Amino acid sequence: MSKLKVVNMLSTFNEKENITPMVETLERIAKENSNYEFITLVVDSHSPDGTGEIVKIGKNKIQSFFTGDSPRFGCFFDCRIWPCGKGIKSRCGYSQ
């Protein structure tokens, strides 16, 4: 029987301080629950604090870790000026 998949999708904007502890916690939970296949997907909104760079380094270290960027230009506004909402990030994440 195949394992059930659990996808943890994190949408981030200026989460440099929090992203590493969050991903480490999710990895610990995944190891404690080996009857599931855990995947972590982080969708960053081009954070000016460097969150995206931290995420890109992390994806090279963890096999079940994936990244995506929300579009720079949202529906009616520039995401560089105004952070894209979770809906836009979620659509981006699910399409990855």
Q: Which residues of 26-48 are buried (b: 16+ CB within 10 A; e: fewer)?
A: bbeebeeeeeeebbbbbbbbebe
pLDDT in tens, 77-94: 344 444 555 555 555 555
Give yes or no for residue 56 having a pLDDT over 90.
no
> Beta-carbon neighbour count of residue 83 at 10 Å?
19
Length of the chain: 96
Query: If you average pLDDT over residues 11-39, what whole number do you get?
Result: 91
Per-domain boundaries in the chain: 4-95
pLDDT in the model for residue 84: 55
CA separation for the pair 55, 68 (Å, rounded):
9
Which has the higher per-residue pLDDT, 57 or 26?
A: 26
Rounded to two decimals, the pTM is 0.68
